[in-house]
């Protein structure tokens, strides 16, 4: 298995633009998580899914953020419109219930 695959690896965009981050979880994993990591706030859970259904989105900072999981092999995190304070590394992770997470390599987002 290639692990959790995230794209793009790096994204630089202008303030006000829409940004879409993508994630392909490990086949067979039934949980998918989106995290954001910054120096100031550390690792923050944004939202997670179980069997493609959003379970807890209380970490999504604002209505500008949205996430979808249309099927078991794909998820997106969208920011519209983007702001400079959204600059961070965004990680996707997947897991089975009793196991640990497998993280992707992350997307480094810079909003200028």
Partner 1 sequence: AQSVAQPEDQVNVAEGNPLTVKCTYSVSGNPYLFWYVQYPNRGLQFLLKYITGDNLVKGSYGFEAEFNKSQTSFHLKKPSALVSDSALYFCAVRDMRSGNTGKLIFGQGTTLQVKP
**Is the separation of the CB atoms in 102 and 29 below 8 Å?**
yes
Least Å from the CB of residue 16 to partner 1: 27
Q: Which is nearer to partner 1, 77 or 106 (CB)?
A: 106
100 vs 91: CA distance, rounded Å: 15
CA angle 37–58–81, rounded 5-degree value: 65
65/91 with CB nearer partner 1: 91
Are 55 and 48 in contact by the 8 Å Cβ rule? The answer is yes
Nearest CB to partner 1, comparing residues 30 and 81: 30
Query: Would you give the DSSP letter of residue 15?
Result: T
User: Smallest distance, Å, CB 42 to partner 1?
Assistant: 5
Is residue 31 a contact partner of residue 95, using CB atoms and an 8 Å limit?
Answer: yes
Chain residues binding partner 1 by CB under 8 A are 4, 31, 33, 42-43, 45, 48, 50, 55-56, 91, 93, 95, 97-106
Min dist. Cβ of residue 53 to partner 1 (A) = 11
CB of 81 to partner 1, least distance (A): 27
Whichever of 68 and 83 has its CB closer to partner 1, that residue is 68
Measured distance CA(109)–CA(74) in Å, rounded: 20
């Amino acid at each position: 298995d290639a692990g959790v695959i995230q794209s793009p690896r790096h994204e630089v965009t202008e303030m006000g633009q829409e940004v879409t981050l993508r994630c392909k979880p490990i086949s067979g994993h039934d949980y998918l998580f989106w995290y954001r990591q910054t120096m100031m706030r550390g690792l923050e859970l944004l939202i997670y899914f179980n069997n493609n259904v959003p379970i807890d989105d209380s970490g999504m900072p604002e209505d500008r953020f949205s996430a979808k999981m249309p099927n078991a092999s794909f998820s997106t995190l969208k920011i519209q419109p983007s702001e400079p304070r959204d600059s961070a590394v965004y990680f996707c992770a997947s897991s089975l219930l009793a196991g640990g997470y497998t993280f992707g390599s992350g997307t480094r987002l810079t909003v200028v």
